[in-house]
């Protein structure tokens, strides 16, 4: 459920860092980072720095609307039996 809140926030507000997302969504930074990592692995968000080069940097995450649209269309087809 938290991942959906992140996707919604990024869709409405644009690229945001993990600490800002955590604060705005009422959770801690570690929880936000774990959710962002999972969303990134699923191809739903991208970061402005590669995974191995983030230590000590503020990393901004952005939604990948094409991937999100593709997954939503697949879910819709599945639910409707297409």
pLDDT tens by residue, 6-55: 999 999 999 999 999 999 999 999 999 999 999 999 999 999 988 877 78
Q: What is the CATH number of domain 2-80?
A: 1.10.10.10
Asked if residue 72 has pLDDT above 80, the reply is yes
Q: What is the pLDDT of residue 55?
A: 81
User: CA–CA separation, 2 vs 51, rounded Å?
Assistant: 21
What pLDDT does residue 20 have? 95
| Cross-strand partners of 24 | none
pTM: 0.84
Residue 49 is predicted with a pLDDT of: 87
In the predicted model, is pLDDT for residue 1 greater than 80? no
Specify the DSSP class assigned to residue 78. H
């Amino acid at each position: 459920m938290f991942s959906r809140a992140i996707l919604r926030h990024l869709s409405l507000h644009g690229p945001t860092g993990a600490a800002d997302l955590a604060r705005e969504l009422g959770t801690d930074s570690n929880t936000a980072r774990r959710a962002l990592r999972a969303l990134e692995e699923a191809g739903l968000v991208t970061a402005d720095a590669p995974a191995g080069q983030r230590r000590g940097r503020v990393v901004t995450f952005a939604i990948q609307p094409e991937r999100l649209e593709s997954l939503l269309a697949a879910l819709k087809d599945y639910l409707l039996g297409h």
